[in-house]
Structure 1
Amino acid sequence: MISLKKIAILTSGGDSQGMNSAVRAVARTGLANGFEIFGIRKGYKGLINNDFIKLGSKEVSDILYRGGTFLQSARSAEFETPEGQAQAVENLKAKGIDYLVVIGGDGSYRGAQALERHGIKSFGLPGTIDNDIPLTDYTIGFDTTLNVVTDAVGNLRDTMSSHERVSVIEAMGRNCGDIALQAGIASGVDAILIPEIEPDIKQTAANIKERFERGKSHSIVIVAEGAGKAEDVAKQIKELTGLDTRPTVLGHIQRGGTPSAFDRVYSSRLGHKVIELIQQGVTGVGLGMENNKITYHSFEEIFNAKTEINEQLYHIFEDLV
């Protein structure tokens, strides 16, 4: 009897829209090419707890358009220990797993790299709404989140203009301001505060006040969480301008919703590429998109690279505001 090669898939860290699409793509492409597919529930925690499920075509039906991750995700301090990693390796080898696909962000990639060093052939797919993984133009879920934030800004603009208020909207992005920057441009906001560029609240407040004096009925500021808290920024603007200023924290609503068409197609391309790389004998890499092409780099290359904001986009915003 011929023994089928086995692939296991887990999702780790914060969920992002399109993770399910990526799981489906790896599973169905793998099945079409003669692999046996397993899912690991609750990320690295489930890996340590031996929480495996077999995935057939039926198990990944109707998940292409679902947000979140049906495999679920969980933090695992235990996996960061040598003992936890040893248990994870033991569980994978006991199941006869030949390849592991990890969908997540930086911490998830580091876990995949650790397992690769223990002899587990691993791949990383960039699943994080923050768009903060180097050597890829986009991460899974980023595009969907931009649409969610853009819609939220539009809703807030309606009520702000009715009452001549300033709205300060806090978007996710601790170390990367891409959500705030790109959603801000798409929404036509008046100010964007991101961690990569030192915020000047006094100048921002002066610009807002000047626009109101010219007859503008509302103003919207979007701030990445890494650049400040909406409540603090709103308080400062109110003190500097005297205008009625309200903070709004979008929070985890940004992670929700059905993935956009872009994220579904992107995730499908990534998942399909994993199987191609396995057939080519390539492992120990993280995949992504560069100039609309699916590319891959070693985990070491990714960790040694730096995520940088697109400053041209910020200058475009400055000219458009």
Structure 2
Amino acid sequence: MNRIGVLTSGGDAPGMNAAVRAIVRKAIHYGIEIYGVHRGFMGLINSDFVKLDISSVGDIIHRGGTTLLTARCDEFKTEEGQRKALKNLEAFGIEGIIVIGGDGSLRGANALSKLGIPTIGIPATIDNDIAFTDNCIGFDTAANTVVDALNKVRDTATSHERTFIIEVMGRRAGHLALYTGLASGAETILVPEIPFDLNAVCDKIEKGYIRGKLHSIIVVAEGAANSMEVGKVIQEKTGLETRVIILGHLQRGGNPSAYDRILASRFGGKAVDLIIQNTKDKMLGLINGELVITDIEKVLSATKPLDMELYQLSDVLSF
């Protein structure tokens, strides 16, 4: 294999740039030409390729977001769009693609593989909801960003004796809510995977205030409930002053943590090793500290379970 490509797709995640850097430099180490694709699968359709060299990825290991840019692309979901992408790859002589992103990105990699293009997927999403890997690129950084925000909220919550509802990302999975809620000592964590009773939440808050607690922090994954409605119900039922904060996209930003930089570098370097062997339709993962390789179709057919032991621990500790 003489020429490969790399793209980032879907929601950006801190550490994507570190993965791109590792891919580019490992490819050059092997004497392989490496092309970046701008704006994900849209770039494949629009033939938006740029040749990368060592200096192209200089000074990006510490930067959040993605220098290759990212975008959603409904056209690529069609057979016509995929054929157009394949034609452009062939025109540039690109023989394999490394795709960095979440669930949708892996589906795109799977589609390219079915067209005969060797593909390797690298999981990168702050939701950490990809199966067959303990961690995805960006999750550690996002968790630390949320915990830092929760620390600041706790200061003002105590000063004003208020209840705060903090909404974090996670439309279909509550991994970010669970980890950050446990790490910050939240009184309640609401996640999409587990049904909840707001009456029980209110009862827990009231009992805490009776014992002398000055505040309560409720972490809500965006897919678990409407945080504004949760705040309204809690204030009405408890009579306690309640505020809602939606952290939004700031969770995706910021410099990647040391952990995410190292994880991304490991994934990126290994991805090049695999792609030059004409490996097709595989995703890299990290399980118990070791790199593992799994069929993308197997990954896409599985759901990553919530860590129930951690969830139960958070409930026990949050009196």
* Band the TM-score falls in, shorter-chain normalisation: over 0.9
Q: Within 2, Cα distance between the matches of 1:209 and 1:28?
A: 57
For each residue in 1:236-255, what CA deviation from the matched residue of structure 2 results, as whole angstroms up to 9, or x when unmatched? 11111000000000000000
Letter in 2 for 1:94: A
Percent identity, aligned pairs only, is 49
**Structure-2 separation of matches of 1:45 and 1:304:** 25
Deviating 4+ runs (over 6 angstroms): none
Q: Which residue of 1 aligns with 2:236?
A: 239
CA apart distance, 1:205: 0.7
Distance 1:109 1:272 in 2: 18
2:109 pairs with one of 109, 112, 120: 112
d(CA) in 1 for partners of 2:249, 2:301: 30
1:183-223: per-residue Cα shift (whole Å, max 9, x none)? 00100111100011102211111111111111111110000
Q: Deviations over 1:143-189 (max 9, x none)?
A: 00000000000111111111100000000001110000000010011
1:37 to 34, 44, 47: 34
Match of 2:136 in 1: 139
Which residue does 1:211 correspond to in 2?
208
Q: Is 1:273 paired with 2:270?
A: yes
- Choose which of 36, 45, 49 in structure 1 pairs with 2:46: 49
Aligned equivalents of 1:278, 1:195: Cα separation in 2: 36
Q: Which residue of 1 aligns with 2:226?
A: 229
Secondary structure at the residue paired with 2:305? coil
Residues 67-78 of structure 1 correspond to what in structure 2 (within 5 A)? 67-78=64-75
Partner of 2:197: 200
Secondary structure of the structure 2 residue equivalent to 1:243: coil
Q: Aligned pair 1:95/2:110, yes or no?
A: no
- Residues 5-34 of structure 1, C-alpha deviation per residue, up to 9 Å, x if partnerless? 111000000100000011011111111111
State the shift of 1:281 in Å. Answer: 4.2
Among candidates 294, 298, 312, match of residue 297 of structure 1: 294
Change (3 A) 1:287 1:184: same
Contact 2:120 2:279 survives alignment (8 Å) = no
8 Å Cα contact 2:191/2:221 also seen in 1? yes
Return the alpha-carbon distance in structure 1 between the equivalents of residues 188 and 208 of structure 2. 12
C-alpha displacement of 1:122: 0.6
Q: Structure 2 counterpart of 1:230, which letter?
A: S
In 2, the alpha carbon distance for the partners of 1:318 and 1:157 equals 18
Quick check: 1:82 aligned with 2:55? no
AA partner of residue 28 (structure 2): L
What is the Cα deviation at residue 55 of structure 1? 0.6
Give the stretch that moved more between structures: 238-247 or 273-282: 273-282
Structure 2 length-normalised TM: 0.98
List runs of 5+ in structure 1 lacking aligned partners: none
Deviation at 1:280, TM superposition (A): 4.3
Match for residue 162 of structure 2? 165
Deviation at 1:278, TM superposition (A): 3.0
Q: Report how many residues are paired.
A: 318
- TM superposition shift of 1:126: 0.4
Letter in 2 for 1:150: V
- Written as runs of structure 1 = structure 2, the 5 A alignment for 1:116-135 is 116-135=113-132
Q: Which amino acid aligns with 1:253?
A: L
Q: CA deviation at 1:279?
A: 4.5
Q: Distance in 2 between matches of 1:306 and 1:44?
A: 24
> Which consecutive unaligned segments of at least 5 residues does structure 2 have?
none
SS for the counterpart of 1:139 is: coil
1:282 aligns with 2:279: yes
Which is worse superposed, 271-280 or 163-172? 271-280
Q: Residue 156 of structure 1 aligns to which amino acid in structure 2?
A: V
